[in-house]
Each structure stands twice: as structure tokens, then as C-alpha cells.
Structure 1
Amino acid sequence: MDCMLRSDTLQITTEILSLIARIDEFKGAWRALGSLAPDRLSALRRVATIESIGSSTRIEGSKLTDREVEKLLSNLAIQSFDTRDEQEVAGYAELMELVFGSWRHIPFNENHIKQLHQILLRHSEKDARHRGQYKTSSNSVAAFDENGVRIGIVFETASPFDTPRLMAELVTWVNEERGKAQLHPLLIVAIFVVVFLEIHPFQDGNGRLSRVLTTLLLIQAGYAYVPYSSLESVIELNKEAYYLALRQTQGSIRTDAPNWQPWLVFFLRSLAEQVRRLEKKVEREKIVLAALPDLSLQIVEFAREHGRITMGDAIRLTGVSRNTLKQHLRNLVDRGHLNQQGSGRGVWYELK
């Protein structure tokens, strides 16, 4: 490939080795951790999915909160979304569900990347003409502040003329490297992402698609824990460092001496933080589950799965009397597992 990855330009530092070892250690341990009950795993994935959708769309300028994303997801069947933010969330949610459910059957090629882009922008009226097609006009990477206001250009991208050739080269390189199994899978994913964003092959949606493709490649590489902890939320919290690392590496990709270090370090640190968060969640799950009575556990699980629980929900769920449930709910609030919202007949509970 033109100025793509060459073994003599990729320096594997001690930090990079340490981060890879840390992530791979958790990858192996997840087989045991992943033996949590299916409903527990489902609840973890639902929370992570909401965080991922909210964070990934906010990185690109959306203003929807995680709570608003959750509410929208509960109404996806309506297939009608009034605002650009809602359209983007709906498309991202559908694409993530597809990847989680069908990753074994998604070949990594240009045709499928275009199909995934089409799904991503399925509900976006503004993007109807170009979804699923490489760009025909020049574009550039812009950064947005926390209010969704554009604050500047991060990077000038590949021309529409060069895009098909560069994408063909990139996808070929990924598949060849995965086949040779000489370069570590995490390095293959990291390099794909930064080069994909340097090309910026589509008119819009490149950042969001890059994060979905990251998830797809990681799951296909055996990192089965990825759906249960949001990498996107890690990136959102470190957005300035994210843009800086991209800019530092992307500016050198087409030179004789590509500087992969800034992006590799940022990407691997983000994956390590994703692992740390999931470890903490799983450990808390184990402690909570071991300490709670079965009835209280049912209440907590329902609240985690659905975002909240009311007295009516609890009665239908358990078939237990109102007075008994009041005691369990009071104990869960006192012990810091639930927050009480509202009062009287309108009271409801959510996880802390």
C-alpha cells in the first residue's frame, strides 16, 4: 500500500506491549466472567449499548442524553424520527444490533462496509442521496464542543478520486494481515481505524461507522466482552485527546515515516479503560448478587433491564404483596442500590 504499514515503521514500545497484555489477559478471563446469568449479561449489554449510542452520536455533535437515547430506543418500532439527532441514534442502534447478532456472518469487504453505512444512515433524510456510497465531494474532519458547536477542522481527508483505490488497499491489507496472523489483532484494528478516518470515505457518518467497525473487528478477533462495556463513552470523555491522536498520526500516514505511536497509544489505553470499567461492573455485580435476597435481586435486575421500576411493575414481576415489596424497595434505597423518584402513586425507582 502507498505509505501504509511497513514493519520498519511500527515501533512496539514497552507501553504498547503492556497494554496489549492487559487487554488480552481480560479477554481470556472473560470466559469465566462471562458465565454470569443470561439476564445479567443482557442488562449489562443494554446499559453499554445505550452509553455507546449516546456517546458516539454526541462525539459527532448530537445533544441527546443517555436517558433520551434510552427513551428513543424503547420506541424504535415507530420508524419515524423528527430530528437529525433522533435519526442518527435510530440508525446507530439498528446497526449495533445487527453487528452484535450477526458478526459471524459479516465478511470484511468494501461491499459490506457500504451496506453497514447504508443502515447507519437509513433514517437520515439529509443523507438519503449518498448513504452506502463513497463520497463524491471533498470533506474534512471537524471537531465539536460539548454543545454540538463546530470548533474547527481536525484533518483534511482523501479526495473523492483517490477514495476507492485507498479503501480497496486498506481492506485488502486488513484481510491479508488477519490471514497471516503475524501482526497482533489489536494493532490491525487500530491501524484500520486511523487510516479509515484519514480516508474518510463517505460524505457523512465516518466517525460513527468507524466505531461500529471497531466493535465488529474486535468481536471477530475474539474480544467477546466488547458489547458489555462502552468504548465510545471512554472516547467521549477523552475527546480532545482522541482528536489530537488522530491528527498527529493521520498527518504522517502518507509520508515515508508514518508516526503510528500517538494513535496506537490512545487506542490501546482506551481499550484498557474499557476493560477496567467492565471489571469493576462485574465485580460489583458479584458482590451485589451475593448479598441480596432473591426478591430484591429480581427488583434490581428489572430496574437495570428497563431503566426503572414502579410498584406496579414489581407486583406483576413477583406476585408478592405491596407491603412486602415496600420493605424490599426501602431496603434497596437505604443500601444505595436504587434511587427513589417522585412520590405517592407516581413513585418509581432507578439504579444509582
Structure 2
Amino acid sequence: MIRANTLQITPEILNFIAELDEFKGAWQALGTLAPERLSALRRVATIESIGSSTRIEGSKLSDREVERLLSNLEIKSFATRDEQEVAGYAETMELVFRSWAEITLTENHIKQLHRDLLQYSEKDAHHRGKYKTRPNNVAAFDETGKQVGILFETATPFDTPQRMSELVACASEAFSSRQLHPLLVTAIFTVVLLEIHPFQDGNGRLSRVLTTLLLLRAGYSYVPYSSLESVIEQSKEGYYLSLRQTQGIIRSDAPNWQPWLLFFLRALQQQMNHLAKKVEREKIVLAALPELSMRIIEFAREHGRVTISNIVRLTGTSRNTLKQHFRQLVTQGHLALHGSGRGAWYALR
């Protein structure tokens, strides 16, 4: 399945990989934003990812509606299928972000992630976390919802367990042997998984969760801060075209991985570029702050909290001047005020 001699590594592919790896190496320096700003970036990216990944599969919820739903996620009661799918995707992504180091590439973990994705989907209760038992070829439909043709045939229910076992074993070996770059292994794993379509439903969403997991395990730690799913949603026509072009001959002796590899690497490049621009904007905002305001933020970052008295002792600046700086930092969203009067203190948002 994943063999170096079936891949044509073109200069274009090498350039994509080199650019992505350069950003991966530079992220430690780029990521020196204050924790609260990184947290804000991640929250926005997570909302975009959840909204885009579920809309690709037919959900109608906007990012704003997704954000409202996430703010009440603890309710655990969702009126529509769209809301059920968003809630499942949100909790699964949070699990991956929190525990990616412990989630190895195994069939059991893949099934668990599928179960988690569909945990709130009532109509999927009978098959979540289980390989398909009925054919699920990918079909094309007209405007009325009537099926007009088969885009490509997926693995049969009978063949699925063996093909999944082979896929996971080959991918694990490719990652450990390092004969192929991990970005190429991740791309090929994803397109073969979608060609197998191992579960009755939820395969597209699962493939994007697994892509994030594999990228994090390969050291691309910036992934949670920029949405790959939104890039795919904005290029949905190219996404499906590249899948069809590659999947049609995956099982042949000479599979053509190029259409999918180029789409996948180009999407990762766009994800990277979006994040680089966001980081630069954040740095410009912070760079525009007065030096005294920056010292207040640095003190809060180092000690977890800061008071006006702390900065009076540190800098000798008058309390009235400092009150203006603290007030401005709260207004701009850099600090949060806790308490009042003489007991007031501030922390990073």
C-alpha cells in the first residue's frame, strides 16, 4: 500500500515538504505569543475546523452557530442531527489535542475515535465504532436528492476488516521505518482510508480527525492553531476531484498518487500561511503597546497574576499612570480584572 517505489517525488512535492518542515522548525520561535493569545487562536481555529468539517458532509450550521453550541456543550442535549454531529466532532478534536501522544495508530483507536465522533448521533447508535455491514459506495445525487450515479466503489463489508488491518500495519511500518516522509505517509493513509470507507457513516469527518492526529504525532505542533478543515471546505471541488482521480486506481499495480498528494500538501501550505499571517498580526498588536504595558503583561505571564502595587514597586511609576495602562489592557482584551478595590488583581486572558 505505502511503497516508496510507487511514488513519484517531484520537485513540486519536495518544495512543499521543505516549506512545511521549515515552518515546523520555526514554530517554537513563532509560537512565543502570550498563552492567552495562543489560546484565542486555537479557539477560533477549532470553531472553524468543526464548522467546516461538518459542513463538508452536509451540515448547515454556521461558525457563529457552532460557537454558540460549544459554549453550551455541557448541556449534552442537542435538538438536530447537525448539532449532534458538531458536538461529537468538538469533543473528539479536544481529545486529540489533549491526548495525541497516547493515541497510537491502531484499529482499536480508530474505532474509538469513530465512536466518539458519533456519540451524540442517535441514528448512528447501532454502528458507531464498528466496521460497516452494508455497501456504502460514494454516489452522486441531483438537486432533488435522487441518486444519479456511483462516483467510486468502496471496499466491500467482507473485505473491510482485512484491508483496514493491512492499511494500519503498512502505515505504522512506514512511520517507524522513516523511508517515506511522514507527510507523504499521512496523505496516503488518508486517501486509502477514504477509498476503503470502513464505517457506515462518518468516514470523511474521521479522516480529518486522523489527519490532525497523525500530523501532531509527526511533530507538527502548530496544527491546532489553524484550521485545515476550512481550507478543504473552501477547495471542496478540488478535494473531491483529487480524491476521485487517485482513488480510481489505488488498487492497481501502478497507482497515481499525484493528484491527491498535491492537493493535500497545497492544503497544508495554505493552513500554514493562514497561521503565519495571524501570528504576525498578533505580534504587531503587541509591538504597538507602550513599554510599560508590555512590562505589565510580562509580569503577569511570569507570576500568573499582577497588581498595580506590583508594578509600582517594580517601576516606581505613579498609581494614577498605571491605572490608565491597566484599564487599557483590560479594554484591549490582554488582561482580565478580578476582585475590586484594594484587593483587585489582574491575570492574562
Shorter-chain TM-score: which interval?
Answer: 0.7 to 0.9
What's the offset of the Cα at 1:290? Answer: 1.5
* Equivalent-residue separation in structure 2 for 1:97 and 1:279 (angstroms): 23
* Equivalent-residue separation in structure 1 for 2:339 and 2:205 (angstroms): 40
State the SS of the aligned residue for 1:118: helix
How many pairs are equivalent? 306
Q: Which residue of 1 aligns with 2:224?
A: 227
Residue of 280, 284, 288 corresponding to 1:283: 280
Residue of 73, 89, 94 corresponding to 1:92: 89
Q: Structure 2: where are the runs of 5+ without partners?
A: 294-326, 342-349
For the 8 Å contact 2:226–2:275, the answer to whether it is kept is yes
Q: Which has the larger radius of gyration?
A: 2
Deviates more, 1:34-43 or 1:211-220: 34-43
**1:245 paired to 2:242:** yes
Residue of 113, 117, 129 corresponding to 1:116: 113
Q: CA RMSD in A?
A: 2.4
Q: Which residue of 2 aligns with 1:262?
A: 259
Residue of 266, 270, 274 corresponding to 1:273: 270
Q: Which residue of 1 aligns with 2:302?
A: none
Residue of 161, 170, 174 corresponding to 1:164: 161
For the 8 Å contact 2:2–2:174, the answer to whether it is kept is no
**1:125 paired to 2:139:** no
* Equivalent-residue separation in structure 1 for 2:235 and 2:262 (angstroms): 13
State the SS of the aligned residue for 1:55: helix
Cα distance 1:12–1:130, how it changes in 2: closer, same or farther (>3 A)? same
**1:154 paired to 2:151:** yes
What code does the residue aligned with 1:245 have?
S
Q: Structure 1: where are the runs of 5+ without partners?
A: 303-313, 321-352
* Equivalent-residue separation in structure 2 for 1:145 and 1:287 (angstroms): 48
**1:48 paired to 2:45:** yes
Cα distance 1:136–1:262, how it changes in 2: closer, same or farther (>3 A)? same
State TM-score, norm by structure 2.
Answer: 0.83
Q: Which residue of 2 aligns with 1:342?
A: none
Q: Which residue of 2 aligns with 1:67?
A: 64
**1:6 paired to 2:3:** yes
Residue of 166, 184, 202 corresponding to 2:199: 202
For the 8 Å contact 1:10–1:260, the answer to whether it is kept is yes
* Equivalent-residue separation in structure 1 for 2:144 and 2:340 (angstroms): 46
Q: Which residue of 2 aligns with 1:57?
A: 54
State TM-score, norm by structure 1.
Answer: 0.82
Q: Which residue of 2 aligns with 1:186?
A: 183
For the 8 Å contact 2:330–2:336, the answer to whether it is kept is no
What's the offset of the Cα at 1:150? Answer: 8.3
For the 8 Å contact 2:238–2:263, the answer to whether it is kept is yes
